[in-house]
Amino acid sequence: MADTVDPQGGGIVNYLFDPRHWTGADGIPTLIGEHLLYSLIALAIAAVIAVPLGIYIGVTGKGVFLIAGLANALRALPSVGLLILLVLLISPAFPSKMGYILPSLIVLVLLAVPPILTNTYAGVRAVDAAAVDAARGMGFRTMKILTDVQLPCSLPLVLSGVRSALLQIISTATIAAYISLGGLGRLLIDGKAQNDYSQMVAGAVLVALLALFFDQLLAFITRRVVSPGLTRRTIKSASIAEPAKTPVTV
């Protein structure tokens, strides 16, 4: 009989710490690896699409309607319904497993594009006009202004969009299991089929922990790559490190 969740949550703990669930092709490490593979590939594709487009719109001001229109429309797409539709359209052309992987990636990319696109556009547009004018007055050309002024200043918002997109991807990548692919969604789908609620809750917990881990990882990366002047860390550090001055009496 399938395990159920006891009031103390012992069923979940037993499932997670059972060595049998950490080995083999269906083991938790393998599922996490597949989940991350889908997520990171989708994030990379979304970034390649959204970052240049957001920079172009932010610099030129052309196509601003895409931000409010297309981005909001993509957010409203029903993930599972779109996935099934794409499988029906694409899988006949691919007899291999790619006929199921490709629709999953398309859905995840569509979810990830809006936050990256809107944050990149907002970051470029939010750069202080005085800084841009000063760079132009120093003889910087448009590309030089972009790479040396606008992109460094917009980096906090761009990375915030990437962070938000990755969290959405990780939490939504469970739908890949709905069409018989791998990932942590297998614990949810298989657990529901077997009425194994401990397995289902364990899968949900692992997805949440994975999302929290990458959220903190990207927050750490942001603190390291963003200029201290933009986050005022230099000012705070200097004020803390500077000893209090005592008056000198003669």
Q: How confident is the model at residue 231, as a pLDDT?
A: 61
For residue 5, pLDDT over 70 is answered with no
How many beta carbons lie within 10 A of that of residue 151, not counting itself? 17
pLDDT in tens, 160-214: 999 999 999 999 999 988 888 889 999 999 998 888 889 999 999 999 999 999 9
Q: Which of 191, 174, 205 is nearest to 3 (CA)?
A: 191
Confidence grade of residue 4 (pLDDT, cut at 50, 70, 90)? very low
pLDDT in tens, 144-160: 888 888 888 899 999 99
Confidence grade of residue 2 (pLDDT, cut at 50, 70, 90)? very low
Q: How confident is the model at residue 145, as a pLDDT?
A: 84
Average pLDDT over residues 25-41: 93
What percent of the chain shows pLDDT beyond 70? 87
Q: How confident is the model at residue 235, as a pLDDT?
A: 44
Confidence grade of residue 233 (pLDDT, cut at 50, 70, 90)? low
| Lowest-pLDDT range of 80-89, 155-164, 201-210, 221-230 | 221-230
Convert the chain into a string of H (helix), E (strand) and C (coil): CCCCCCCCCHHHHHHHCCHHHHCCCCCHHHHHHHHHHHHHHHHHHHHHHHHHHHHHHHHHCCCCHHHHCHHHHHHCCCHHHHHHHHHHHHHHHCCCCHHHHHHHHHHHHHHHHHHHHHHHHHHHHCCCHHHHHHHHHCCCCHHHHHHHHHHHHHHHHHHHHHHHHHHHHHHHHHHHHHHCCCCCHHHHHHHHHCCCHHHHHHHHHHHHHHHHHHHHHHHHHHHHHCCHHHHCHHHHHHHHHCCCCCCCCC
